[in-house]
């Protein structure tokens, strides 16, 4: 049985989402929260494999929620169920590892398809051997919105987010940037980018230098040589 968390501030929509989940064999709702704040507190002591997330919720939006979730070292599968339909938001959510995106209003059939896709993907990963050939990787990643993972990442890091940061650094090779500057350019939170920059520094993919000539507090500049 797959445990599901629902984050939705509209009680009626939350009830519909719960009904849809529980009408799908093999899935059960573990918890429902009106915002990401309560959900993050709950997730400090619980692991949930799948989250149904609305983008527009009180106190933090879906993007902020996912960034904070990854900052906790957790990366459950996330299906967006939301009215947010602008291209930039959808792109940013997929870059953060969202596995499916449903725009309100939608039919139960489409919701069920999203759950079934998640189930199939999860089952495929569970039955695979340690080593995968390229054909197997392609079969498992086509249509998921996720790139194939070509390297093991530290817990809580997302391959798509890592790729976005690497693309920025490659486009500005030899230039120094603070984590705040990178965050502004790639539209991620400063906390999230700082974790990725620290990781890239640890594996010696990039270098860091302290800049004392800022006119104030020294800053750390990161470089891709």
Q: List C-alpha distances in Å: 77 to 12, 180, 182, 209.
A: 23, 27, 26, 36
The more confidently predicted of residues 136 and 87 is: 87
pLDDT in tens, 129-159: 566 666 666 655 544 444 444 455 677 788 7
Cα–Cα distance, 152 to 174 (Å, whole number)? 26
User: Which whole number is the average pLDDT over 206-219?
Assistant: 78
pLDDT tens by residue, 197-206: 998 988 888 9
Mean pLDDT over residues 38-43, rounded? 96
Domains and CATH numbers, the chain: 2-140 (3.40.50.2300), 159-223 (1.10.10.10)
Average pLDDT over the chain reads 85
Quickly count: other Cβ atoms within 10 Å of residue 94's Cβ: 17
Q: Indicate the length of the chain as a whole number.
A: 225
pLDDT at 138: 62
Distance CA 106, CA 58 (A): 23
Q: Residue 134 has what pLDDT?
A: 66
Q: How buried is 168 (Cβ within 10 angstroms: 0-12 exposed, 13-18 middle, 19+ buried)?
A: middle
Does pLDDT of 123 surpass 80?
no
Cβ burial of 164 (10 Å; 0-12, 13-18, 19+) is: buried
**Residue 170 banded pLDDT, cuts 50, 70, 90:** confident
Q: Average pLDDT in the 94-101 region?
A: 89
More confident residue, 89 or 127: 89
pLDDT of 6 reads 98
In a 13 Å sphere around the CA of 12, the CA atoms on its Cβ side amount to 1
Sequence-distant (6+) residues with CB within 8 A of 41 are: none
């Amino acid at each position: 049985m797959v445990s599901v968390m629902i984050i939705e501030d509209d009680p009626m929509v939350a009830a519909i989402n719960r009904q849809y989940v529980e009408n799908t064999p093999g899935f059960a709702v573990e918890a429902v929260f009106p915002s990401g704040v309560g959900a993050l507190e709950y997730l400090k002591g619980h692991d949930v494999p799948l989250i149904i997330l609305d983008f527009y919720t009180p106190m933090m939006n879906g993007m902020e929620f996912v960034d904070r979730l990854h900052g906790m070292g957790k990366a459950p599968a996330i299906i967006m169920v939301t009215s947010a339909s602008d291209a930039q938001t959808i792109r940013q959510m997929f870059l953060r590892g969202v596995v499916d995106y449903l725009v309100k209003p939608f039919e139960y059939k489409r919701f069920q398809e999203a759950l079934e896709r998640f189930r199939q993907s999860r089952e495929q990963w569970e039955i695979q051997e340690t080593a995968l050939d390229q054909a197997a990787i392609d079969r498992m990643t086509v249509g998921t919105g996720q790139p194939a993972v070509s390297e093991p990442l530290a817990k809580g890091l997302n391959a798509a987010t890592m790729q976005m940061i690497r693309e920025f650094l490659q486009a500005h090779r030899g230039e120094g940037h603070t984590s705040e500057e990178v965050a502004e350019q790639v539209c991620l939170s400063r906390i999230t980018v700082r974790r990725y920059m620290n990781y890239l520094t640890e594996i010696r993919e990039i270098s860091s230098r302290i800049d004392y000539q800022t006119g104030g507090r020294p800053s750390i500049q990161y470089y891709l040589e």
